[in-house]
Amino acid sequence: MACSGAYATPADFNQYWCLSIDLTDADTVAEINRMLTLAAADLHGPLSAVGACNCLTAWGLEYLRKLNVVETGVFYRCSCGPTLTEGERRLYLEWLDRQMELIRASKLDLCGFTGAEYPAFGSVELNLTAFNEARIIANRIQRTP
């Protein structure tokens, strides 16, 4: 999935916030879809920063769905959204900001490639000569804390 579009649906939005939205009303559904798409744009930045647009795990997609629904409900005020106090809104926005920073810093890996704190990739050093063997051992010693 490329970094575009929403991660959630109006039904997800309705269910998460325990609302009674009429999902048969085309105008309401269109409004929620538009808000979800706009809110998802904020998620695309951190995902793009770590190259995670096309490698999301199943749990990563579900997590983005949750972030998408929460941001939509908190950031956009509409008649079909949740009623939050300013304090609740501020706490949600701080939480969302922290989640996006964790994604951007690769501390929350939605692709399942690495552990927390750093991106990594695999490589192989080939031993074709005695010199290469010594170099491989020296490289391993330098990488090991």
**How does pLDDT run across 53-98, given as a tens digit for each residue?**
888 888 889 999 999 999 999 988 777 889 999 999 999 999 999 9
What local confidence, expressed as pLDDT, does residue 79 receive? 79
In degrees to the nearest 10, what's the CA dihedral of 67, 68, 71, 77? -150
| Cα(107)–Cα(118) distance, integer angstroms | 7
Q: Residue for token digits 């579009």?
A: 5
Q: 5 pLDDT exceeds 90? A: yes
Quickly state the pLDDT bin for 13 (edges 50, 70, 90).
very high
